[in-house]
Structures are given as C-alpha cells and as structure tokens.
C-alpha cells in the first residue's frame, strides 16, 4: 500500500515536491519564486517552541561554527514573522552556531506557515538528518498526534515513516522518566528499552536499567535479566492495600513475542498464552487500518 504524499502546505513550505517515504539527506532550503534571502539581526530571530530536538551536542555545534567561520552560512534560516521579530522554522543549529561565533546578522527566508506545518517541517528536517535521539523522536510524534488530533497512520505519512516506526517510538514514552533520560544520552539502546518495557513497574524498570548499565549487558543478556525479575516477582507476590494479591508479571517470552507482533503490525496487539493455549488480539481503528493489517498478514479479500 503506497503512502500518502505530504500535504500541499508543507510541500510549498519546503519549496519543492513531496517528501518520499525513505528520504535522502535534506537539501539546503532555497528561496521559492517570489522570495529572497536577506540578512537580519540575529537578536531578532527566536527558537521555535515546536522544535522536537532539545539536545544540541556542544562538540557538533563547535564543528558547525568552525565551518561557518570558514565558509559563511551557506543555507539561510527559514523563519516566520512573530511579533517584532521572527520565529525559526528550520535552521536552529545554524542559528546557535552563529551565536557561538558572535555573528550580528544571519541570512533568512521569510515564509508564512501555520503551527501544524511548522511541527511537520521541524520533524522532517531532523528525521531526514537522523539526528534526533529516540525520546526526542517519540515526543515529536506524540506532539504531532496530540496537538492536531491525528491518527498514528496519518502522522506517519506526514513525516515519511511507516506506522510501525511511529507506534514503536511512542512505546518508549511508557518508560520511567529516568530511563528516558538514559535513552536521550545514549546510555541505553532502543533494543534494551524494548526488553525493559516487559516490566510494568517503574521500580522494576529502573532496577533492570541500572543492572544493564553497571554490568554492560547486551540485549540478549537483558532479556535473561528481565525474565529473572519477572520470575522473582511471580514467586514472591505481595499483598496490595486492599489485601488482594497483585497480578503476576508476564512471562518474558510472551511479552517479547507480543512486542514483535506489535512491531510487525504497527498497532496494539494483545497476546494471552497459558499452557499451549491462548489468543491474539490485533487492534484496528478504521477500515483502512484493517485493510493494512490484512495485507501484512497476507489475507486477500475477495
């Protein structure tokens, strides 16, 4: 099933055609017909609140600043009017590097854009360059979906990704906040995080993550660790406040298989298994979603 092209508003803002599902590195923004590049005071340009990227590595900014010092800013910043100044749409790294150099002016292209288009472009610019960390990427998808009431499939199409990619990224936001920090800084991989998500409690997740970091466990070793933690929790249940026993943690193999099914179908999948019997429930949200799932499963509708 082919993916929908990006909306005309975003296409026009990018100054070219639709973005493909597997984009090449983003080209430098260029002026569209009727536009022109002009210098403005750097103090009149402000960062965008919708920028999904929050972490800017100091060494990478320094390298960019050195390049700008040698060659100038080759790609103008894309901005939109805001109050007495301008709000960045694309080019925050160049803007920050220019500040490091103490530049007084920067080249800009002024374009009109609504909030949704700005969010889309900010995500696309970063995702095409693959320089968002996993949590920034997940938060960007969540912002696009929640702020503009989009489905996962629609949001995925707008940024040139599959629904499965978006769904799996959003699952990372279920991690305890401290673990999200580990992902932001590259201390844990996405593979580690997926395994740790098999633990439902924040305390268990934190314990597993600390063991992974302390002992340098790989993903397979992390699976074994999570299995042991789940087994320990099942064998020694504690009573809840109302005196009832809490539900035991799930078997790691069942949770792992459920995760793989969710990645495959790009939607919520529930797997219930006990002594060789059980059920698989695959969620869909509209007819198109059902058609997509059936195609993945190889089921043809006569």
Taking the C-alpha atoms of residue 78 and residue 80, their distance in angstroms, rounded to an integer, is 7
What are 104-130's pLDDT values in tens digits?
A: 999 999 988 888 788 777 777 666 555
Comparing 35-114 with 163-238+246-297, is the CATH topology the same?
no
Of the residues 63, 92, 137, 146, only one is catalytic, namely: 92
The verdict on whether 92 is a catalytic residue reads yes
Please say if the pLDDT value at position 24 is more than 60: no
Architecture of domain 163-238+246-297: Orthogonal Bundle (1.10)
Architecture of the structural domain at 35-114: Alpha-Beta Complex (3.90)
Predicted TM-score of the model (pTM): 0.56
Burial 111-121 (b: 16+ CB within 10 A, else e): bebeebbbbbb
pLDDT confidence of residue 34: 63
For 230-280, how does the pLDDT look when each residue is reduced to its tens digit (9 = 90+)? 776 655 445 544 555 544 455 667 777 877 787 777 777 888 888 778 888
Strands 277-282 and 269-274, by their bridges, are antiparallel
CA angle 255, 164, 19 (to 5 degrees): 160
The predicted pLDDT at position 102 comes to 93
Domain ranges of the chain: 35-114, 163-238+246-297
Phi-psi category of 245—alpha, beta or left, where left has phi over 0 and alpha has psi -120 to 50?
beta
Q: Which residues on adjacent β-strands are paired with residue 81?
A: 86
The region that residue 186 occupies, defined by phi over 0 for left and psi between -120 and 50 for alpha, beta otherwise, is: left
Rounded Cα distance, 54 and 135, in Å: 10
Would you state the pLDDT for residue 6?
A: 36
């Amino acid at each position: 099933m082919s993916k929908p092209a990006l909306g005309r508003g975003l296409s026009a803002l990018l100054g070219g055609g639709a973005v493909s599902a597997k984009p090449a590195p983003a080209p430098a923004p260029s002026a569209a017909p009727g536009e022109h590049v002009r210098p403005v005071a750097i103090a009149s340009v402000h960062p965008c609140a919708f920028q999904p990227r929050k972490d800017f590595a100091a060494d990478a900014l320094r390298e960019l600043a050195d390049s700008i010092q040698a060659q100038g800013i080759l790609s103008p910043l894309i901005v939109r009017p805001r109050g007495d100044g301008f709000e960045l749409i694309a080019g925050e790294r160049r803007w920050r590097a220019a500040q490091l150099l103490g530049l007084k002016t920067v080249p800009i292209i002024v374009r009109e854009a609504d909030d949704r288009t700005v969010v889309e472009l900010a995500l696309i610019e970063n995702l095409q360059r693959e320089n968002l960390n996993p949590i920034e990427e997940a938060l960007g998808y969540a912002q696009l979906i929640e702020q503009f009431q989009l489905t996962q499939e629609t949001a995925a199409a707008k940024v040139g990704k599959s629904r499965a990619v978006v769904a799996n990224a959003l699952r990372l936001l279920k991690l305890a906040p401290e673990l999200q920090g580990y992902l932001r800084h590259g201390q844990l991989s996405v593979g580690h995080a997926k395994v740790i998500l098999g633990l439902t409690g924040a305390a268990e997740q934190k314990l597993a993550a600390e063991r992974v970091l302390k002992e340098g466990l790989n993903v397979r070793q992390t699976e074994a660790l999570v299995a042991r933690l789940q087994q320990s929790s099942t064998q020694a249940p504690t009573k809840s406040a109302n005196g009832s026993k809490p539900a035991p943690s799930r078997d790691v193999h069942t949770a792992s298989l459920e995760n793989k099914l969710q990645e495959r179908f790009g939607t919520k999948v529930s797997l219930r298994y006990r002594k060789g019997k059980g059920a698989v429930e695959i969620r869909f949200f509209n007819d198109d979603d059902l058609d997509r799932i059936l195609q993945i499963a190889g089921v043809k509708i006569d």
